[in-house]
Amino acid sequence: MTTKEAFIALNLLPKIGPVRVRKLLDRFETPQAILSANRNQILELDGFGQEMANLVVQWEDRIDLKRELDLIKDAKVEVITPACEDYPPSLREIYDPPSVLYVWGQLTKADWRCIGVVGSRRATHYGLQAAKKLSYQIARAGLTVISGLARGVDTAAHEGALAGGRTIAVLGSGLGKLYPPENQALAEKIAKQGAVVSEFPILYLPDKQSFPLRNRIVSGWSSGILVVEAPQRSGSLITANQAAEQGRPVYAVPGPIDRPTSQGCHRLIQEGAKLVMGVEDILEEFGQLELLSEDEAEETRPDLSEEESALFALLSGMEVGIEDLIRQADLPSQVVATTLMRLEMKRLVKQLPGKHFVRC
């Protein structure tokens, strides 16, 4: 049995987990030696009673290793373990490093320097735009964006990063049971321009425990964690706390004080997270990295008429009602309506419910 196959077998065993695998490795040194140990040797270890000892000693009766190896082959995914040179160095440093990483796509050494971007699944338009813009700029600067492929901020972060560079998605399920299913197409894009990663067996279904486990990989892999939008009780705050415990810097984007989705970020800032007003607040800690300048952004913007320029200048990432725009622009309502329509067609402006508008 190869080292990789032995790690996969240990990862398939229920209730063992990465902390117990680490303790077993401290005693037996190799995964093959663990699977060959006898019951008394296992019982000598702290935290290993009869049930755990039986699981390890009877591993061949508890799992179907051949089936998992066949699934890995059929899915055309790579498996890396702590014994591999391409195992992320930062993950080796955490308390409970994953013993197996299933990789769909390709990892590079550039991915060892990455920023985790997390936030609410029920993000506002402001949060989605902030996540997309900052992730684009982070990726454009040469850092990889890592997130959890969840709805909301995670999805926006991956989409923004794909437009600027590389991104990694860490799943709370097996690669064969991708969750949420509506992000299948996004995952396929990520696999071509980065990697989709999971520590869970191919057909593992997501559960309440798998998402916190996923989050500690995002925080542990990252060189820093950016929280874009989060309510007071949020998995994103757990990820931020994990990052702080792992010695990673935490960044937070402020938001409107009257929105519940801003409260978590504001609390993080009160507790010492770095307030992010722009991507430079993150990148300045990583040296002189290339940024998309405002001049470059202006060059990519289509030509605008006088009315289009006037209305575009009044818009930002915060939604504005059409009545406010009419008053501020001092233009007839029909002119404002038709001009906004032209800006929408140019994908510079987006209309929200209630005739509110924001910049794209």
Is residue 180 predicted with pLDDT exceeding 80?
yes
Specify burial of residue 258 (Cβ count, 10 A radius: 0-12, 13-18, 19+): exposed
pLDDT score recorded for residue 288: 37
CA gap 188, 103 in Å, rounded: 12
pLDDT score recorded for residue 294: 43
Is residue 299 predicted with pLDDT exceeding 50?
no
Beta carbons within 8 Å of 92's beta carbon, 6+ residues apart: 82
- Kindly report, residue by residue over 43-56, the tens digit of the pLDDT: 999 889 999 999 99
Res. 292 pLDDT band, cuts 50 70 90: very low
Is residue 290 predicted with pLDDT exceeding 80?
no
- Kindly report, residue by residue over 330-340, the tens digit of the pLDDT: 889 989 888 99
Is residue 295 predicted with pLDDT exceeding 50?
no
Question: What mean pLDDT, rounded, does the chain reach?
Answer: 90
Which segments within 56-138 are labelled E, that is strand?
78-80, 101-105, 114-118
Summarize the confidence of residues 193-205 as an average pLDDT: 97
Task: Say what percent of the chain tops pLDDT 70.
Answer: 95
Is residue 145 predicted with pLDDT exceeding 60?
yes
pLDDT score recorded for residue 174: 97
Between 285 and 86, where is the model more confident? 86
Res. 296 pLDDT band, cuts 50 70 90: very low
Summarize the confidence of residues 86-114 as an average pLDDT: 94
Q: Within 271-356, where are the H helices?
A: 280-283, 294-299, 306-314, 322-329, 333-345
Structure pTM?
Answer: 0.81
Q: Which of 110-114, 129-133, 234-238 has the lowest mean pLDDT?
A: 234-238
Q: Which domains does the chain have, with CATH numbers?
A: 1-63 (1.10.150.20), 104-293 (3.40.50.450), 301-359 (1.10.10.10)
Res. 297 pLDDT band, cuts 50 70 90: very low
Residue 175 is classified by DSSP as: G
Residue 128 is classified by DSSP as: H
